[in-house]
């Protein structure tokens, strides 16, 4: 009997337009150095956990979050491009490293208006990290409009 593998869902952490990672204006992301996935041009100000698992890290400047799914796959959410320069200004972290969370849990409040006022890019890459992508047999991307915590922007099947 043939069973179709749908894969594990990675939900959009922000509402907005999902674009290809190769269209991000950053060679580190568009070149898939950090990992493979998508990016979101956000229309809201609260980032949600895209998967259930454990918060593996919260960046010192509160603009990056890693969440490791229970199958070991790590997803990175990077809030804006060049936002490390804000040194945490405009970001309110709602989680701590080591915390267990479920998909859809709020992880960070972001002041995207502030980011835009500093002439920084609000595009938010969401990637399966380079350390986890080698375990992925198939990654399916869904582009277009997404609703945070509801729309799957990616699905993956591990080897």
Q: Which residues are catalytic?
A: 78
Torsion (CA) 15, 16, 17, 23 in degrees, nearest 10: -90
The helix (H) or strand (E) run that includes residue 116 is helix 112-117
Report how far Cα 51 is from the mean position of its chain's Cα atoms.
9
- Kindly write down the DSSP assignment for every residue of 4-42, as one continuous string: ----EEEE-SSSEEEEEGGGSS-HHHHTTSSEEEEEEEE
């Amino acid at each position: 009997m043939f069973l179709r593998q749908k894969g594990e869902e990675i939900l959009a952490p922000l509402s907005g337009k999902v674009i290809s990672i190769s269209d991000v204006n950053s060679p580190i992301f568009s070149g898939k150095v950090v990992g493979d996935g998508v990016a979101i041009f956000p229309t809201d100000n609260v980032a949600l956990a895209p998967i259930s698992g454990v918060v593996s890290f919260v960046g010192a400047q509160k603009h990056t979050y890693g969440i490791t799914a229970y199958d070991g796959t790590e997803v990175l959410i990077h809030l804006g491009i060049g936002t490390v320069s804000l040194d945490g200004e405009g970001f309110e972290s709602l989680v701590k490293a080591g915390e267990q969370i479920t998909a859809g849990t709020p992880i960070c409040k972001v002041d995207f208006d502030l980011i835009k006022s500093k002439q920084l890019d609000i595009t938010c890459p969401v990637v399966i990290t380079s350390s986890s992508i080698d375990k992925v047999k198939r990654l399916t991307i869904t582009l277009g409009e997404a609703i945070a915590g509801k729309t799957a922007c990616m699905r993956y099947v591990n080897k």
